[in-house]
Amino acid sequence: MSKQIDLKKSRKEIDTIHSTFIKKSDVISKYIDKKNKSKKVPIPPKILFFVKEYSHKKDKLKWLNQFPKAQQTEIKKHARYYTDRIDRDKCNYEISELQKNINDYMKILNRFRSDLKATLLSRKSNKKSKDIEKTSREVLEGTLIQVLEESGGKAHRNDVFEKMEKVLKDTLTDYDREIIADPLERWKINVSFYRSELVGNGVIKRDSPRGFWTLEKKNERKK
């Protein structure tokens, strides 16, 4: 089961592996270049020991002087091929290690995605579970109809909002008063939406002049 996560910690973990991935990719690119340029030349068994020794010596020239010129040339030639072979082996090893890193990276990434999804869903659920202080639909609809009735059944939208705000001055919350579409506050947008539904329900006339809201006569309202 997915668990909630420390997003910063998980992100840091992914960044660390990603950094390793990039570094190893650079190393492998160099090895592949060498591998492509190198030639596969068999090293005679009789000089293989000397080639290995030569490849690991710090003072190669001093060590090499103990051999005849012809043998020196052969050792140096095969030492290049031996070094290339080591590079090829190292390249294969690095590719294998990189594959492990990629697998680790994908596991952590998938775990991160799964845990992130669980965390976000949990936050969303917690947010929904909290009681948001807002004025109910019933109150807004009832006040809208009340204001229109007190205005003779018809009023301009701006006048309706102004009168409703006076009636609801002690009821409207900070949430209701949030500016959603400047200069409209949330509660006004909600009222406009509820008004549209009241038109569909036959409570408010559909063919009122632009900007005006008009109540249907009570005996003509849909039941």
Q: What is the pLDDT of residues 38-87, one digit of tens each?
A: 555 666 666 666 767 766 677 777 777 787 887 778 777 767 666 666 66
- Residues forming beta bridges with residue 76, ordered by sequence position: none
Selection from 88, 82, 73 nearest residue 51 by Cα = 82
> Quick one: pLDDT at residue 129?
45
What's residue 74's pLDDT?
A: 76
Closest CA relative to residue 165, chosen from 189, 143, 142 = 143
pTM: 0.43
**What is the SS3 string spanning the chain?**
CCCCCCHHHHHHHHHHHHHHHHHHHHHHHHHHHHHHHCCCCCCCHHHHHHHHHHHHCCCHHHHHCCCCHHHHHHHHHHHHHHHHHHHHHHHHHHHHHHHHHHHHHHHHHHHHHHHHHHHHHHHHHHHHHCCCCCCCHHHHHHHHHHHHHHCCCEEEHHHHHHHHHHHCCCCCCCCCCCEEECCEEHHHHHHHHHHHHHHHCCCECCCCCCCEEEECCHHHCCC
Res 96: pLDDT? 72
Residues of the chain with pLDDT below 70 are 1-14, 17-18, 20-49, 51, 54-56, 78, 80-92, 94-95, 101-102, 105, 108-109, 112-113, 115-116, 119-132, 182, 219-223
- The predicted pLDDT at position 152 comes to 93
